[in-house]
């Protein structure tokens, strides 16, 4: 999975190809397995695989907050409770499904926003939201011009430095490369995030990771808090990093964790 995290990047242009039934079965299995795992805060997160009725439309199409997608054969989407814990659990579960899809050669991208899709209305029960839709298909050989432009813009800033995001006990002390958890945090640095804002700020204190959210001022209003979803993605990447070291982690809210100014404390992971 670590290799998958390192290789993954958002795909917004797909081959003009339907998903054959055999591949749909693979995707459905990923959906089921991702959904069946217990979530850190106990929210039942539901995932759905949808074929795109509009797959053959010739134009690239704006879906979600920004960015254009082209020739999308299908979508992965899902619903959760519209609470902090619900969105953390959603990020945690959905990222697992995304990584499993990438591992099997599918291309995908997280898209958030207010979707104009009649199927989705049935998925969001009272108190629930459908926060993202992720196109699923075979990565297009040629990126569209719009996609290349978006990537160029993103790559200019691409990822923040390790020391900007993470600290040892406080945010003024960077982790040495030799620190056992340096590489675990590197996996968070490579994670996807809405608008590539990388809002994760994490302190390592002994065997604890304390996760904080640095909110972006004037973040576009959305049906659900994408910034909190990003934190669920970070939790998933840390758990994958710990598993690779033969550790497990317990995710919980820790009243003793520092509360640095300007950051929103989210949760902690205690290494076992």
Residues of this chain that interact with ligand FMN (CB under 6 A) are 9-10, 64-67, 109-113, 132, 154, 192-194, 196, 226, 229-230, 233
Which of 194/251 has CB closer to ligand FMN? 194
CB of 197 to ligand FMN, least distance (A): 9
- 3 state DSSP class of 113: coil
Q: Distance of CA 239 to CAs 8, 40, 46, 56, 232, Å? A: 17, 11, 21, 39, 11
CB of 88 to ligand FMN, least distance (A): 12
* Of 173, 147, 129, 166, nearest in space to 241 by CA: 166
Which of 91/271 has CB closer to ligand FMN? 91
Length of the chain equals 272
CB of 7 to ligand FMN, least distance (A): 10
The DSSP annotation for 82-94 comes to SSHHHHHHHHHHH
- 3 state DSSP class of 46: strand
Buried b (16+ CB within 10 A) or exposed e, 56-81: eeeebeebbbebbbbbbbbbbbbbbb
Which of 212/271 has CB closer to ligand FMN? 212
Residue closest to ligand FMN (Cβ): 67
Which of 94/171 has CB closer to ligand FMN? 94
CB of 112 to ligand FMN, least distance (A): 4
Which of 73/271 has CB closer to ligand FMN? 73
- CA 80 to chain CA centroid, Å, is 14
Can you state the angle between helices 84-103 and 21-36, rounded to 10 degrees?
A: 140
CB of 89 to ligand FMN, least distance (A): 14
Which of 113/249 has CB closer to ligand FMN? 113
CB of 253 to ligand FMN, least distance (A): 22
């Amino acid at each position: 999975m670590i290799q998958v995290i390192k290789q993954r990047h958002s795909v917004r242009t797909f081959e003009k190809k339907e998903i054959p039934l055999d591949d749909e079965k693979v995707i459905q299995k990923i959906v089921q397995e991702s959904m069946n795992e217990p979530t850190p805060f106990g929210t039942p997160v539901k995932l759905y695989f949808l074929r795109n009725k509009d797959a053959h439309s010739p134009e690239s199409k704006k879906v979600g907050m920004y960015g254009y997608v082209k020739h999308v054969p299908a979508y992965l989407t899902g619903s959760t409770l519209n609470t902090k814990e619900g969105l953390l659990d959603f990020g945690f579960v959905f990222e697992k499904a995304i990584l499993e899809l990438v591992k099997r050669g599918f291309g995908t991208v997280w898209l958030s926003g207010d979707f104009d899709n009649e199927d989705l209305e049935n998925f969001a029960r009272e108190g629930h939201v459908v926060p993202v839709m992720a196109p699923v298909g075979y990565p297009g050989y040629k990126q569209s011009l719009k996609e290349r432009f978006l990537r160029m813009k993103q790559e200019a800033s691409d990822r923040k430095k390790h020391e900007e995001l993470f600290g040892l006990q406080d945010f003024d002390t960077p982790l040495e490369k030799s620190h056992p958890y340096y590489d675990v945090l590197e996996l968070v640095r490579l994670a996807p995030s809405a608008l590539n804002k990388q809002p994760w700020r994490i302190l390592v204190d002994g065997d604890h990771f304390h996760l904080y959210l640095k909110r972006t001022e004037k973040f576009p209003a959305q049906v659900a808090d994408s910034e909190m979803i990003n934190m669920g993605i970070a939790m998933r990447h840390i758990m994958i990093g710990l598993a690779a070291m033969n550790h497990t982690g317990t995710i919980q809210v820790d009243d003793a964790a520092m509360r640095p100014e300007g950051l929103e404390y989210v949760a902690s992971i205690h290494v076992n």
